[in-house]
Amino acid sequence: MRTFGDLLQHRAAEEPQRRAFRFLDYATLERPALTITYAELDRQARTVAALLQQYGRPGARALLSYPPGLEGIAALFGCLYAGWIAVPAPVPTPARGERWRTAAITHDAQPTVALTTHATRARLATRSLLEPSLPSERWLATDDLPAALADVWRPVPLEPDAVAILQYTSGSLSRPRGVILHHANLLHNTGQIARRFGITRDSRGMIWLPAFHDMGLIGGILQGVYSGFPVTLMAPAAFLQRPVRWLQAISEERATISGAPNVAYDLCVERITPAERATLDLACWTVAFNGSEPVRLATLERFASTFAACGFRRTALAPCYGLAEATLMVSAVPVGRGPSVKRHGAADVVSCGPPIDDTRLLVVDPDTRSVCQAGQVGEVWLAGPSVAGGYWRQPAATRATFAAQLQPQSDPPDSGYLRTGDLGFVAGGELFISGRLKAQLVLAGRNLQAEDVERTVASSHAAGWPGGLVATSSPSRAEDGREHLVIVQEIDPRRAPTEASRLAIIQAIRRCVAEQYQVPVAAIVLARPGSIPRTSSGKVRRQDCARAYAAGELEVLVAWQLGPRDRR
């Protein structure tokens, strides 16, 4: 198979009635779950492709702006059938962050058309949320195209190096950038995921992550088509409203592979009741991957312990590491082994397993650009067939990120490495991620990793909201102009209902940080759950959080600042 379009056509020809996807629609519970076979998906993709061929030639971009469901999957493959470049994006909402993200993606990708559903287009038009840089007549609904249009589609010969998708980064540390993914990148990475996780045609998947996020799109939708196994989908909101729905779907659909960022596992422990746990049978779940944000040992152990009575096995836990710039997966713990840890400084760091095949992974000193010794922490650099083709229309950023050279350079110079911006070390051939280069805090002349400080704060008390914690620095309220440590902690108001209990949390955080790092905390904000800005995958946006703190935009329960006059 040279492209993902070839792959879907092969599935439709070989097993036309095999179920490809099933969508659990919790917004309309009165109707049964929606399903689509490979033959139906192929025909719907051809109708979308025929529509696109009326608007432009191969290489044009189409913005995909769909609510959770099956229509967006058909549109994705319609783009691939037409040779167009798919640009998955969230549906614009009145929320400032999501509207800004969609506008930034549209401005950068400059799509010819936007594809969506009739209902979504009408709702966006009513709320004045149609992106103004794209005329309203270029917002095309694809959910009721005439079936005969499929026969008008003209096949397009494509090479593996054709661009398939612009996967926009989550923007946790900067404006979103369009990562250029070729068909060859997608086929290599999904092949490696299948191998590392032991996926077969008998596997069954379950994904609730958004289809515009790399883990949901590539690890869920494309992985299902690559490996030929059925995948059950649900909306992210359905999980966030009731986390038990995720595990119920795994139990009822007998899913063998599913996963999410670390915070999702925390939420399951926190919010699924004993009565709900009693209804679950998770013995089928053999691969529970955990990635997209730092993997925490405490989270893994709590989840495995909490759901052991439901049949969940600790060996199913599969920590992994990846990023959009490397398509998706870079490394993962082999299936059935379970997590392992190494002590680094004052913390236990979870292994993310060995790198995938055909990938050169180096740990490099980010200042000298020389290769680190075994066990030494440095920046993770990569080269291999899953590394993407750069950033769309951003040559300077592409050179800086995708063409890094070691010092001293080889002779002749190599083609360069992808700088991930993540810090880690290699031990026993496995990768351990210890922090993020851009998440360093320079405090009192010391370099601290924000993730390390966050782990310490999380262990200081028991009232925190899972995943709702940011350690950042702010010079704006410091009289001496130096960076001072600021902690923003989302807490469950039920666990700390009084002012006294909340002040006790503040004292515990101050004491724990001082003992561990010998630096004072300048300010602590205890905020309501959901206050911290996050990406689509649940990662915290540290820079946005720092700006929100400085602007007084957080939903504060209680705030404290160093010095008796600043206490309030």
Question: What's 351's DSSP letter?
Answer: B
Quick: pLDDT tens for 522-555: 999 999 888 888 776 667 877 778 888 888 888 8
Quick: pLDDT tens for 332-377: 999 899 999 998 877 789 999 999 999 999 999 998 999 999 889 9
What distance lies between CA 138 and its chain's CA centroid? Answer: 29
What tokens does 51 get? 């529509």
What tokens does 240 get? 């966030």
Instruction: Tell me the mean pLDDT in the region 436-461.
Output: 79
Instruction: Tell me the mean pLDDT in the region 295-305.
Output: 92
How confident is residue 146, by pLDDT bands cut at 50, 70 and 90? very high
What residue ranges do the domains of the chain occupy? 1-15+36-158, 344-437, 444-566
What tokens does 454 get? 């966050």
Give long-range contacts, CB 8 A cutoff, 24+ apart: 6-13: 7/187, 7/225, 7/226, 8/38, 8/41, 8/42, 8/45, 8/77, 8/80, 8/225, 9/42, 11/38, 11/42, 11/225, 11/228, 12/38, 12/39, 12/41, 12/42
Check whether the bond before 261 is cis (ω within 30° of 0): no
CATH topology of domain 344-437: Luciferase; domain 3 (2.30.38)
Nearest partner of 417 among 462, 370, 464, judged by Cα? 370
Query: Exposed (0-12), middle (13-18) or buried (19+): which is 453, by Cβ within 10 Å?
Result: buried
Number of residues in the chain = 568
Question: What's 147's DSSP letter?
Answer: G
| Rounded-to-integer distance, Cα 293 and Cα 115, Å | 30
Beta strands 205-207 and 464-474 are unpaired
CATH topology of domain 444-566: GMP Synthetase; Chain A, domain 3 (3.30.300)
Quick: pLDDT tens for 46-92: 999 999 999 999 999 999 999 999 999 999 999 999 999 999 998 98
Ordered DSSP codes for 49-107: HHHHHTT--TT-EEEE---SSSHHHHHHHHHHHHTPEEEE-PPP-SSHHHHHHHHHHHH
CB-based contact 125:149 (threshold 8 Å) = no
pLDDT of residue 396: 94
pLDDT of residue 409: 77
Buried b (16+ CB within 10 A) or exposed e, 167-192: bbbbbbbeebbbbbbbbbbbbbbbbb
| Rounded-to-integer distance, Cα 217 and Cα 193, Å | 13
| Rounded-to-integer distance, Cα 413 and Cα 467, Å | 43
* H-helix or E-strand spanning residue 382: strand 378-383
CATH architecture of the domain covering 1-15+36-158: 3-Layer(aba) Sandwich (3.40)
pLDDT of residue 12: 98
Q: CB neighbours (10 Å) of residue 360?
A: 12
pLDDT of residue 568: 38
CB-based contact 46:78 (threshold 8 Å) = yes
Q: Tell me the H-state helices in 281-320.
A: 297-306
Nearest partner of 165 among 72, 39, 300, judged by Cα? 72
How confident is residue 226, by pLDDT bands cut at 50, 70 and 90? very high
- pTM of this structure: 0.85
